[in-house]
Homo-oligomer: A and B are copies of this chain.
């Protein structure tokens, strides 16, 4: 297993932090549900009942951590979950818990394929 340097650990911490708030965790969940089409900002805000500017800040944070992606569609901005980043985060957590230390047994968490 590759050794993790300080920057990488900090990055994972930032990703966890980005998911570490109820509104943002809800946003990610919602985008996963709507995957791969995603949703435009207005739909997210309406569904989760979050004011425009507040939502925009949350989306910005998630985007900065690369957990979601954005693409313009005319006057709309469509947001989608970034599956590779989530994959990476999941892989990190899995590696820490199961591979690196054998602290958690994989089979308890997942049933493969």
Q: How far is the CA of A112 from the CA of B96 in the complex (A)?
A: 15
Say whether A52 faces chain B, with CB atoms less than 8 Å apart. Answer: no
Query: When A13-B20, A16-B16, A17-B16 are in contact, do A32 and B101 touch as well, CB less than 8 Å?
Result: yes
Q: How far is the CA of A91 from the CA of B98 in the complex (A)?
A: 12
Q: Check A109–B87 contact: CB distance below 8 A.
A: yes
| Size of A's binding interface in residues, CB under 8 A | 47
- B-facing residues in A52-111 (Cβ within 8 Å): 81, 83, 86-87, 89-91, 93-94, 96-98, 100-104, 106-110
Residues of A bordering B, CB below 8 Å? 6, 9-10, 12-22, 24-26, 28-29, 32-33, 35-36, 81, 83, 86-87, 89-91, 93-94, 96-98, 100-104, 106-110, 112-113
